[in-house]
A and B are shown apart, each in its own frame.
Chain A
Amino acid sequence: MCNQTVSLISAEVERNGICTVVIQLLREPAVKVRPPRALLVPFRHGYPLDAPEAPDRQHQVIEACLQMLESAALTAPALREYKASY
C-alpha cells in the first residue's frame, strides 16, 4: 500500500507546482497508479534506500532520483529502473 500512498501524495504535491519523484518497490502499483516520476528500485520492502548505515548506497539512490528531476526529456508518467553501480 505504501507504494500507492506516496504516489497519490506526489500527485497532489505536483498539482501545487512542486516537482516530485517517488521511489517504488513494486512494479504493479507503479504502473497502475502512475505517479508523475517514479524510480523503481530492486530492494525488498522496508529497504527503499538499499541498506541501513550505508550512506554511500543511500546517496546513490537519492542521486538517481535527483537525476529524474533534472531530466527535461521525461514526460508523465515517467518510470525509470534503478541500477546500483556496485
Chain B
Amino acid sequence: MADMNEFSLPVRLFLAAYPWRRINPVPFAASRKPLKDCRLALVSSAGLVAPGQTPFDEDFRGGDFSYREIPNDTDLSLLQEFHRSDSFDHSGLKQDPNLVLPIDRVNELVTRGRIGSVNHRHLSFMGSITAPGRLMKESAPAAARVLASDGVDVALLVPV
C-alpha cells in the first residue's frame, strides 16, 4: 500500500495536521440492475486534459476544482497531464494513461459482456485540492449532474 513515507517531510507534516473532510451522512445508492445492463463512467483525479482543452491551473490557491470532459473515443496518447503534485511518480501514467483513466479497459469489459456500455464521456479532475469547499459546493455537484443526465448507472473513481 502507499504510505505517508512516500512523501517529503513537509508534506507529511502538512497531512498530519490536515482536517480531512468527513462525509456525513454517507449516501448509498441502491444497485437497480445487473452490471451487464449498466452504463459506466470514469472519474479520474490525474489532471488529464484532452487536446484543445484548457490546462488545469497549477497556481490556483487551494487547488483548481474545475473538471474536464474526456470523450470515450479519445486517443489516450494525446491526453496531457496537469497534476500539480510532485509527491508521486508521474512516469507510469505518462507511459500508459489507462493506469489512471482506464478507458481501454472498460471498453474491453463491454466486449466481454461484463458491463452494458461505457458512457460517451468521462470526467477529469486535478486531485491536489487542499481547500475543497468549491469542489463540494460547485464542481462535484455539477459533475454528478452531468453523469446523471447521461443516464450513467455506475461510476469508477480513480485517484493518483
Write the residues of chain A forming the contact surface with B, with a CB cutoff of 8 angstroms: 1-29, 32-36, 40-53, 55, 58-59, 62-63, 65-66, 69-70, 72, 75-77
Contacts and interface: CB of A to CB of B under 8 A. Distances in A.
A20 B4 CA distance: 26
B110 interface: no
Given A13-B43, A44-B89, A45-B2, A58 B99 contact: yes
A27 B152 CA distance: 28
Contacts of A47: 89, 92, 99
Interface residues on B, range: 35 or more
Nearest to A63: B114
Contacts of A22: 156-159
B156 A62 contact: yes
Nearest to A33: B20
Given A6-B158, A36-B28, A1 B143 contact: no
6 contacts: A18-B152, A24-B159, A48-B159, A51-B92, A52-B95, A59-B105
B2 A26 contact: yes
A49 B99 contact: yes
Interface in B82-131: 85, 87-93, 95-96, 98-100, 102, 104-106, 108-109, 114-115, 125, 127-130
Given A9-B157, A33-B23, 19 more contacts: A6-B125, A7-B157, A11-B140, A13-B155, A14-B29, A17-B148, A19-B31, A19-B153, A26-B2, A29-B20, A34-B26, A45-B6, A47-B92, A48-B100, A53-B96, A66-B115, A69-B154, A70-B35, A76-B28
